[in-house]
A and B are shown apart, each in its own frame.
Chain A
Amino acid sequence: MAAAAPPSLSFPRPVFAKLSPHPYLLRTLAPQVSPDTPTPKPSRTNGRAPHEARPVYIHTSSLSHAHGSALVRVGDTTVICGVRGEILPVTSIPQYRPRADFGEDDDEETRRAGRGELKDYDLLVPNIELATGCAPQFLPGVPPSTLAQTISTRVYSLLHSCAVVDAKNLRIWASPVVTKPTGCDDDADKMEEDDEEEEEKPELVAYWVLYVDILVVSFDGNPFDAAWMAVLAALRDTKLPVVTWDSDRGVAFCSRNAEKRKLQIKGLPVACTAAVFLEKEHGSETSGEENNRHWILLDPDRSEETLCGETITMVVDCEGGETRLRSLEKQGGTVIGRELIRGFAGVAEKRWREVKGAMSK
């Protein structure tokens, strides 16, 4: 055998990245200037610029058994979301309180009341699963991780606070609704013919409950943005069949060939997440300016997430022309202050346009 090659003290890039990820990312973000090479552009280990997000691919209606579904790919993070509607008769709601009037206008009061309905009767049920094998840290047979529980809480509260689904689209009526602009007018008309002598008031008999199941197929960081995008795309894709109410038997049914109606979705809130990467790692603190640089990495991947403590998520909706913030979450550090949050709104707007483009494709 030939003599072993002299031990080398330099590693190829992947080994360096694996051994000491923090200095590796730092070195790519802050490349050293040497005279013989042109000044390289600061970039992340994945080749993106700090403020560059991964492209989004959305494919809808891929699940044939769900009422609405979407597959979202953001880089290597893949999330699939299915929406399935189930009929919940009001008789099986334990604390059901029939409301006297359902305002037909789109005024503030009605919307708020509708939000109450969604919340009180739990008409939107999101659930997220981080599939075993989507990333090495998810092991089979363990209870839902903190991450999964956190994302499901965030999706739930965002669904309610954004009111993307209006309660009036989920109500199922038994008898005519004259002034209702949308919903199940057709079957209501039929019912009208049946008992036209009794000038019955329209009666709310059931609700649609939307089960929103999110499955992370492949996890490469930033699960919330992708999960929310999938939820939104799936809801926009949702078509609920027209329900017929059998007043004699007191059951609601919809035939296989029933006409399907698209669920109306209000607005297009898009989540945009970034993480803050600090120059110092485990070293001692200094009050000076050196070693205190930071980078804001938009749409962090899994390896970046493990190196970053502070995160910011902003949910924006520019549908009405004006940029409205629907949610803001910033935690885990003190780098992002007021100015950075203001500036981040612009970044989020840009992301919104990208996602909107992907959605309408």
Chain B
Amino acid sequence: MATAQPLYVLPGDTIDPSLIPTHKKLPLRLGPGLRHIPPSAIVPTVAGQLVADHKKNSMWVEYNGGRYIPAPNDLVIGQIQRSAADFYFMNLTPFTSNATLPQLAFEGATKKNRPQLASGALVYARVVLANRHMDPELECVSSSTGKAEGLGPLTGGMAFDVSLGLARRLLMARSREEGKVEILELLGAEGLAFETAVGRNGKVWVGSDSAKTIILVGRALRETDDGKLDVDQQKKLAKRLIREMK
């Protein structure tokens, strides 16, 4: 953005047309927190910082908080509520209506051979369909390749709740540079062996052979989130936690 000063918006604010990126070829893409009122008005719907990406010709409002609202292609961690003939009913956030996960939407699943998941099991899935008039639909297999690509049931380990903002930062392609969250790398560098899955719905699953490690990683994430730690503080935190564990 041209201005160094971050631009904060409130719902209903008028956005200066000069801030709306223009691109010759790409259509303008609106991210979360913005809505388009025909013919040409673009209005924020949440309070946050307006961000525009001129290369990708997109703009969105950056904010943290609230409840997860499913959007297509989001990676989420859901919990199986119950199973029906062809579907699992999944819970993404408490008290919302269930998302559906077809039992055949797993890698290599057939009518005869499909995963048997008990209620309460955690599943890492992708949102396929998020329509306001329907319950969201999930899948654990890429429909183009037929491969799981890391999605599927999460066995062992434990899921921790984090803020939506932290989940988003962890999911960034370069979470260290852009999202300024390094804690997981730091802990890994200290020699802890663990794996994680981050759900956009504010859940982080941590798996490891050692229960101690799982709890330590979970604590590190929660403290980073609650304390709003920057990279240096995260380094200190990682050192402290490792020291305490020994």
A-B contacts counted at CB < 8 A amount to: 11
- Interface residue B39 (Cβ < 8 Å from any Cβ of A): yes
Residues 25-72 (chain B) with a chain A CB within 8 angstroms: 37-39, 41
A286 partner residues in chain B, CB cutoff 8 A: 37-39
Chain A residues near B39 (CB, 8 Å)? Answer: 286-288
Interface of A, helix, strand, loop or mixed by DSSP: loop
Q: Is the CB of A329 closer than 8 A to any CB of chain B? A: no
A284 at the interface (CB under 8 A from B): yes
Q: Is residue A285 contacting chain B, with contact meaning CB distance below 8 A?
A: yes
Q: Once bound together, how far apart are the Cα atoms of A288 and B41, in whole Å?
A: 10
For the complex, what is the distance from the CA of A285 to the CA of B38, rounded to whole Å?
A: 8
Question: Per-residue 0/1 for A264-289: is the Cβ within 8 Å of any B Cβ (1 yes, 0 no)?
Answer: 00000000000000000000111110
Among residues of A, the one whose C-beta sits closest to the C-beta of B41 is: A287
Residue of B at shortest CB range from A284?
B38
B14 to chain A, nearest CB (A): 11
Q: How large is the interface on B (under 10, 10 to 19, 20 to 34, 35 or more residues)?
A: under 10
A287 to chain B, nearest CB (A): 5
Contacts of B38 in A (CB 8 A): 284, 286-288
**Which chain B residues (207-240) contact chain A, with CB distance < 8 Å?**
none
Cα distance, A38 to B37, chains bound together (Å): 38
How distant is the Cα of A284 from the Cα of B37 in the complex, in angstroms?
8
Would you give the shortest CB distance from A342 to chain B, in whole angstroms? 26
Q: Give A288 to B37 CA distance when docked, in angstroms.
A: 9
Closest to A285 in B: B37
Hey, which chain A residues are within 8 Å of B41, CB to CB? Answer: 287
Tell me, rounded to whole Å, the shortest Cβ–Cβ distance linking B191 to chain A.
56
CB closest residue in chain A, given B38? A286
A residues 285-312 near B (Cβ < 8 Å) are 285-288
Shortest CB–CB separation between residue A333 and chain B, in angstroms?
16
Closest B residue to A286 by beta carbon equals B38
Output the nearest chain A residue to B37 by Cβ-Cβ distance.
Answer: A287
Question: Separation in Å of the B133 CB from the closest CB of chain A?
Answer: 11
Across-interface contacts of A284 in B (CB, < 8 A): 38
Within 8 A of B (CB), among A213-234: none
Task: State A285–B37 Cα separation when bound (angstroms).
Answer: 6
Distance in angstroms between the alpha carbons of A285 and B42 in the assembled complex: 12
How far apart sit A285 and B39, CA to CA, in the bound complex (Å)?
10
Report how far A284 CA is from B41 CA in the complex, Å: 13
**Chain B min CB distance to A286 (Å):** 5
CB within 8 Å of A: which B176-214 residues: none
What are 11 A-B pairs with beta-carbon distances under 8 A? A284-B38, A285-B37, A286-B37, A286-B38, A286-B39, A287-B37, A287-B38, A287-B39, A287-B41, A288-B38, A288-B39
- A284-B38, A287-B41, A288-B39 are known; give 8 further A-B pairs, CB within 8 A: A285-B37, A286-B37, A286-B38, A286-B39, A287-B37, A287-B38, A287-B39, A288-B38
